[in-house]
Amino acid sequence: MFKTLIGSTALAAVMAIGAFGGVSSAQADITIAVAGPMTGELAAFGEQLKRGAEKAVADINAKGGVNGEQLKLEIGDDQCDPKQAVQVANDLVKKGVAFVAGHFCSGSSIPASAVYAEEGIVQITPASTNPAFTEDMAAKGVTTVFRTCGRDDAQGIFAGPWLAKTYTGKNVAILDDKSAYGQGLANETAKNFESSGGKIAVRDTYTAKEKDFSALISKLKDAKIDAVYIGGYHNDVGLMVRQAREQGLEAAFISADALNTAEFWSISGPAGEGLRYSDGASAVNLDSAKDVVAAFRADNYEPEGYTLNSYAAIQAWAAAATKAGSTDGAKVAEALRSGPIPTAIGDLTWDAKGDLTKVNYAWYVYHDGKAVQEPLN
């Protein structure tokens, strides 16, 4: 009887261990995360990152997951605030994430990257364009930071000479919102504008989330500005353009990738007609994105902005983790750099710093509420 009890107890213990994964063949989970402004002024972009991440995780899990394990997605909300970004990063580390797709704002991605780097966690931002994000980490010997977007200096090389050529002999103003993203972008564009022969008539800043741009608009009118280049986010630019038109400033407005959301027009209204912004060439019509885009549209969601960049970030990490046979950050980073990785936004390759080796930029122009990409040169 005693032996029988021992046997029964041992069997129960083995079964219990199996039930909790100790010796079971049941699948475990790999926790990854997407982080960005899920609430607040820039929540439209957080929604893009979240949608892309959720779809990527669902598609990867449907195909068997990563190395036989299913992915579990955590969502971090930093509201594009640097302090909150650090808190989000620490929270995600505590949850044992193996990878983070994020953040959105450069001012959030940069401080958060220090937290992830210390833990050896791969971070791929779908949207942060400030060069310091990769440059600073590379200078410290960190190899686990990447982007699925371009950099401000590359975008400045695209926009600055265009401004100089298009507005030769005209009065051009360059503004920024003092953020890591806006200031970095404006500085790079200004540098390339001037090196191409342009002369800046007004170089100024404004405060993000400002509600009244009257003083700045009056300054631009007094300087007889013909074109205004803005490094900043869609909410401020939309309001500024609307107020400018109301106050009789007819200058052309030009900006960059943070205008890539339909929410811009909901703020600017018809005043946004003709506004031009630069961004990477859209992937929605690529063969590599066809099935993903069709699935989004079947769910009544248009994958605008950084949706596909977010999808591709998780797609690339999963492919690298599979190739490495591990979720170890150093091994995954090495696999990411080992050759082209097919994604929804094309075959991606990264340099030693974690920057994409090639980004094709295009101009987008708002017309009747929609941003239309101009043909590539």
Supply the pTM of this predicted model.
0.89
Among 101-105, 182-186, 226-230, 282-286, the least confident range: 282-286
Whole-number average pLDDT of the chain: 93
- Which pLDDT tens digit goes with each residue over 231-266? 999 999 999 999 999 999 999 999 999 999 999 999
- Show me where the domains of the chain are located: 29-149+284-360, 153-274
Band of pLDDT at residue 15, cut at 50, 70 and 90: very low
The domain defined by 153-274 folds into Rossmann fold (3.40.50)
Mean pLDDT score, 221-236: 98
pLDDT in the model for residue 273: 98
The token duo for 84 is: 């909150």
pLDDT in the model for residue 101: 98
Query: Which residues, listed in sequence order, are joined to residue 280 by a DSSP beta bridge?
Result: 361
- Which pLDDT tens digit goes with each residue over 75-117? 999 999 999 999 999 999 999 999 999 999 999 999 999 999 9
Q: What is the DSSP letter of 23?
A: S
Write out the DSSP string of 149-200: S--HHHHHHHHHHHHHHHTTTS-EEEEE-SSHHHHHHHHHHHHHHHHTT--E
pLDDT in the model for residue 376: 82
The domain defined by 29-149+284-360 folds into Rossmann fold (3.40.50)
Q: Are 57 and 71 in contact (CB under 8 A)?
A: yes
Band of pLDDT at residue 339, cut at 50, 70 and 90: confident
Phi-psi region of 351 (alpha: psi -120 to 50; beta: other; left: phi over 0): beta
Q: CA–CA separation, 170 vs 79, rounded Å?
A: 38
Same topology between domain 29-149+284-360 and domain 153-274: yes
Query: Which residues, listed in sequence order, are joined to residue 366 by a DSSP beta bridge?
Result: 371
For residue 19, pLDDT over 50 is answered with: no
For residue 16, pLDDT over 90 is answered with: no
Contacts of residue 369, defined as CB under 8 A and 6 or more positions apart, other chains included, come to 262, 265
Q: Are 274 and 368 in contact (CB under 8 A)?
A: no
pLDDT in the model for residue 229: 98
